Structure 1
Amino acid sequence: MNVSTAAPPVPELKPGTAAKSLRDVLVVTRRNVIRSVRIPEVLILSLVQPVVFVLLFAYLFAGSFGLPGAEGAAAYREYMMPGFFAQTIAFATAGNSSVSMANDVQSGMVDRFRSLPMARSALLTGRTVADLVQNVIVVGVMVLCALLVGWRIHHGLPRAAAAFGLLLLMGYALSWVGVVIGLSVRAPEAAATSNFLWLFPLTFLSNAFVAPSTLPTVLRWAAEWNPLSATVQAARQLFGNPGLTATGSWPAEHPVLVSVTWSLLIAVVCRTLAVRRYASAGS
């Protein structure tokens, strides 16, 4: 009697399993990363712009800004770098997510993905994870540039790693804002323009470049409760950089907790909105 020695067939994953959803996300992430590599101009420009801004602020404008309790251009260079990290991540992540998603909607790619037997949120999550990968590269380049202009880490690598984790978490949350915008507009040009309506107030009405204590009462309150301010304040605290905001407000006293709370809240709310919008996009 012949005994079959063939290996038993590998069972296929059911469409609703978490493993298949994860595989779908990784496939879409790989697709977005490969597309970015094939268009290197986008990545190069996203790296050049923050470097130019760092050099301008570090050597042209640093002497014009004063910090409470920390005077001099060298102190301001250390003060500004966490703000530049946050600003660059916010602009790069939200802008890239919104424009890329709008491109997918306009080109019909969203309709194609919706017709496939894949997790509903895989296209969206893959988009945000790909942006997270790009942010890691951008932050790496910015760190090298920051070290050249005099920025330093004073509280050790573990706390610095936590600071970068908070910055990347904030960027990941804002990428979901970009996805919602990309699914809501009719053209990539509209997505690019709409980003300025909320990114500029988010970044400049914060403690990224000036101390909130120098602002009028209403603007100071808005800056203190700004999600970006909490992340920047937490990063400065973990890096050990000068110019920490000492206004006595609750967000300024608990920046790490506020930063994590804001990031998770933004990610959850915007992801829910994006999934609902994706279900009806292109229909």
Structure 2
Amino acid sequence: MSAVSESARTVAPANPFSRAVRDSLIVAQRNLIRMVRIPEVVIFGLIQPIMFVVLFTYVFGGSMKIGGSTSATAYTNFLMAGIFAQTVTFATAGAGAGIADDMHKGLVDRFRSLPMARGAVLTGRTLADLVQTALTLLVLAGVALLVGWRVGSNGDTNALKVLAAFGLLLLLGYAFTWIGALIGLSVRTPEAATSGGLVWLFPVTFLSNAFVDTGNMTPWLRHIADWNPFSATVEAARVLFANPGASTSTAWPMQHPVWASLIYSILIVLVFRTLAVRKYRSATA
């Protein structure tokens, strides 16, 4: 908070874009400092995805048929793109709860009273959440390697493709964080934001290609899963990681998953950032 107050006493840059960037980075710094001072938030955020990796790998690994094989290793390589995508999107609930908590305590009203760019508070918050998500993803990738996940298990890949896959995953997580921001601004308590942030995420993540081959779904359900933005990013990550499970669907997002993932994520950011900033301008604690 002191950093933001200090910012208010300085002369704002003449360029509105530069001012927005500066203010956003200051707010992001404030939220990152808060995360460092409350490490249990990061620790608990790591426990759930690690549990999913272990449970799905060792409980379901020998029961799933991937590419004609019931090998636990084949399912692990198929699974990890889905777990990574689920992890980055579940950060949405935390983002919404954090913003709702700031509103509940009156901090958002304090920010609104300062001479700062209107969208900076939300942009800074989402950038800080992105940093936390990236750290979580890094740790999760290490756990995945320990349980047998390997890139290039179904073809050739390289470091640039692997980095591109993680980049698409983080972009999806950042896009969904804006949905969380809108939810956080629309409810009265952090508890409601957490519930509201999770209730729609479960159908989005499970009605997809993250954990099972959509070819085994009924036709109408497979059609929904194939056009799910979440599925596009999972498929893109599998392609770039060269992991098994490439979709045989003729749906455009499954045939061009990298482009579909980029388009979906950018559209989500544009739409929900606009709605969240508009809501922020009129929100009251």
Displacement of 1:16 in angstroms is: 5.4
What is the root-mean-square deviation in Å for CA atoms of aligned residues?
Answer: 1.3
Supply the distance in 2 between the matched residues of 1:22 and 1:83 (Cα, whole angstroms): 33
In the TM superposition, what are the counterparts of 1:95-244 in structure 2 within 5 Å?
Answer: 95-154=93-152, 155-244=157-246
Contact 2:63 2:70 in 1 (8 A): no
Structure 2-normalised TM-score? 0.93
Alignment: residue pair count: 272
- Which letter does structure 2 place at the counterpart of 1:139? L
Match of 1:6 in 2: none
1:64 partner SS: coil
2:62 partner SS: helix
Larger radius of gyration: 1
Moved more, 70-79 or 250-259: 70-79
Structure 1-normalised TM-score? 0.93
Match of 1:87 in 2: 86
Gapped regions of structure 2 (runs ≥ 5): 1-9
Supply the distance in 2 between the matched residues of 1:238 and 1:70 (Cα, whole angstroms): 21
Displacement of 1:37 in angstroms is: 1.1
Contact 2:208 2:230 in 1 (8 A): yes
Contact 1:95 1:178 in 2 (8 A): yes
Contact 1:69 1:243 in 2 (8 A): no
The answer to whether structure 1 residue 248 and structure 2 residue 250 are counterparts is yes
Supply the distance in 1 between the matched residues of 2:95 and 2:221 (Cα, whole angstroms): 29
CA deviations on 1:173-202 (whole Å, 9 max, x unpaired) are 000000000000011111111122210011
Match of 2:48 in 1: 49
Match of 2:74 in 1: 75
Contact 1:206 1:228 in 2 (8 A): yes
CA deviations on 1:233-272 (whole Å, 9 max, x unpaired) are 0000000001111122211110001100000000000000
Stretches (4+) displaced over 6 A: none
Gapped regions of structure 1 (runs ≥ 5): 1-10
CA deviations on 1:1-21 (whole Å, 9 max, x unpaired) are xxxxxxxxxx94446522221
In the TM superposition, what are the counterparts of 1:16-55 in structure 2 within 5 Å?
Answer: 17-55=16-54
- Which letter does structure 1 place at the counterpart of 2:271? V
Displacement of 1:72 in angstroms is: 1.3
- Which letter does structure 2 place at the counterpart of 1:98? G
- Which letter does structure 1 place at the counterpart of 2:127? V
CA deviations on 1:204-258 (whole Å, 9 max, x unpaired) are 0000001111111111011000011000000000000011111222111100011
Displacement of 1:128 in angstroms is: 0.5
Contact 2:62 2:70 in 1 (8 A): no
CA deviations on 1:27-61 (whole Å, 9 max, x unpaired) are 10001111111111110011122112111111121
1:63 partner SS: coil
Match of 2:270 in 1: 268
2:200 partner SS: helix
Match of 2:6 in 1: none
1:111 partner SS: helix
Contact 2:67 2:244 in 1 (8 A): no
Displacement of 1:126 in angstroms is: 0.3
Match of 2:4 in 1: none
Contact 2:77 2:149 in 1 (8 A): yes
- Which letter does structure 2 place at the counterpart of 1:142? L
CA deviations on 1:136-192 (whole Å, 9 max, x unpaired) are 100110110011111111111110000000000000000000000000001111111
Contact 1:166 1:231 in 2 (8 A): yes
